[in-house]
Amino acid sequence: MAMKVTPWEVSGHIDYDKLIQSFGTKHISSELLKKFEKEAGELHFMLRRRIFFSHRDADWLFERYDKGEKFVLYTGRGPSGDTHIGHIVPWIFAKWLQDTFDCEMYFQLTDDEKFLHDDNLTADQTHKYAYENALDVIALGFKPGKTFLFSNFDYSKTLYRIAANVAKLTTFSTAKAVFGFENSTNIGMVFFPAMQAAPCFLPSVLKNKNVPVLIPAAIDQDPYWRITRDVADKLGYYKPAAIHSRFLPGLQGPESKMSASVPDSAIFTTDDPKAARKKIMKSFSGGAGTLEAHRKHGGNPNVDTAYQYLYNVFEESDGKIKDIHDAYKSGAMTTGEIKEMLAKKVETFLKKHQENREKARKHLDKFLLKD
Ligand code: TYM
């Protein structure tokens, strides 16, 4: 299947080098990683493993940082349903950035976008999901007082004015070229990119001075930063810097998608831990068909869902992941064993996360920006 990567659709075999070329971003070079390590003390496993593989202006951000100018983080979620494990990849990394660089984080919940984009969702539903998804963000341990979440519907008075400034400088022909809009696209969607651009400048507006912003997200969101960066100079703001991650695959194999309407396609943060275990046991395997063949030929970790979930999210130790890789590849470790290993980790994660989520319900107000 041909590769397609837009903010609303990711499909086919993803060629990340090609994406860097067509989007015009940069590889995270070894020099940049060294710089990161120097500033941070150590590298997060998602950097060591190049799960975050591309960036815009991260080198510039560190130059400013060296000069004593602190940066803030901006990321978000389109609340169209429950949160899945793919969504939390950039959030886990953002939490590490917040802890390491002691930065503020601005988190946008685009209930407007999901209402405008999805014929089957009402504004009430996306608005409700915004606050359910917010619990997942807080449950990951972001700092109160330094973490600000907002629903576009509820913070539109502040955001709209910034968005109008972006929109005035962005032509329909640019939006069409970047996002593929057509004559049949509703005009809400045509304006929406200005709303996703707005938080790039929000910290500067709130603090009344220019503030460098770093956006951790998967690379599907990059088109927004392209149009934002185009107008930043003219508005007198810094261009936002971005750091891009790869995509965690769905449970049904390397090119499969996670979808809220297909429960077995993903692990959701609200899944019962036992149900999540069952999904893992049924997930796509890179093992040979029979135990005998597996022992003889070994498995393929590159396509194995359980291995990929361990590598990308649940096994931080480089030593352990290498042992798992080698044992699975040689056939010494079976598909059942690798799935069991993931299932245990996911069950433990979900139990803790769901407790934190319920606690977060009581503290939600401390994290919210509203007009
Ligand atoms: P949404 O809800 O589609 O995705 C939320 C975040 O998850 C990332 N993501 C993934 N990362 C790894 N593997 C996957 N399979 C996977 N699927 C999704 C997305 O890149 C995103 O970072 N329009 C946005 C909401 C938004 C936003 C932002 C996102 C508003 N402002 C700023 C990032 C940064 C959206 O619908 O995200």
In angstroms, what is the span from residue 93 Cα to ligand 1's centroid? Answer: 13
Question: What residue's CA is closest to ligand 1, atom 30?
Answer: 76
| Helical residues (DSSP H) of 180-272, grouped into ranges | 187-207, 222-235
Query: Does residue 223 line the site of ligand 1, with CB under 6 A?
Result: no
pTM across the whole model: 0.98
- Residue 1 reports pLDDT greater than 80: no
Query: Does residue 110 line the site of ligand 1, with CB under 6 A?
Result: yes
| Helical residues (DSSP H) of 236-316, grouped into ranges | 273-282, 291-297, 305-309
Percentage of the chain exceeding pLDDT 90 = 96
User: Which of 52, 53, 75, 87, when mutated, tests ligand 1's pocket best, judged by the most ligand atoms within 8 Å of its CB?
Assistant: 87
In the chain, CATH 1.10.240.10 covers 263-358
Question: What residue's CA is closest to ligand 1, atom 26?
Answer: 76
pLDDT of amino acid 325:
98
Are 198 and 159 in contact by the 8 Å Cβ rule? The answer is yes
Give the DSSP letter of residue 15.
Answer: -
pLDDT level of residue 260 (50, 70, 90 thresholds)? confident
Largest CA distance in the chain: 67
Are 231 and 197 in contact by the 8 Å Cβ rule? The answer is yes
pLDDT of amino acid 361:
97
User: Would you say domain 263-358 falls under CATH 1.10.240.10?
Assistant: yes
How far is it, in rounded angstroms, from Cα 126 to Cα 132? Answer: 10
pLDDT of amino acid 262:
87
Note the pLDDT tens digit of each residue in 23-68: 999 999 999 999 999 999 999 999 999 999 999 999 999 999 999 9
Instruction: Give one DSSP letter per residue of 154-171, joined into a string.
Output: TSHHHHHHHHHHHHHT--
- Residue 261 reports pLDDT greater than 90: no
Are 54 and 244 in contact by the 8 Å Cβ rule? The answer is yes
Query: Does residue 77 line the site of ligand 1, with CB under 6 A?
Result: yes
Q: Residue 84 burial by CB count (10 A; 0-12/13-18/19+): exposed, middle or buried?
A: buried
Note the pLDDT tens digit of each residue in 284-324: 999 988 999 999 999 999 999 999 999 999 999 999 999 99
Three-state DSSP state, 56: strand
Question: What residue's CA is closest to ligand 1, atom 23?
Answer: 78
Who contacts 323 (Cβ-Cβ below 8 Å, separation ≥6)?
Answer: none
In the chain, CATH 3.40.50.620 covers 4-247
Question: What residue's CA is closest to ligand 1, atom 6?
Answer: 87
Question: What residue's CA is closest to ligand 1, atom 32?
Answer: 75
Written as six digits, the tokens of 200 are 């790039």
Beta strands in the chain (DSSP E): 4-5, 10-11, 26-27, 52-56, 72-77, 105-109, 147-151, 213-218, 241-245
How far is it, in rounded angstroms, from Cα 336 to Cα 280? Answer: 10
pLDDT level of residue 259 (50, 70, 90 thresholds)? confident
Q: Which residue has the tokens 């063949």?
A: 293
Fold assignment, 4-247: Rossmann fold (3.40.50)
Note the pLDDT tens digit of each residue in 144-186: 999 999 999 999 999 999 999 999 999 999 999 999 999 999 9
Query: Does residue 83 line the site of ligand 1, with CB under 6 A?
Result: no
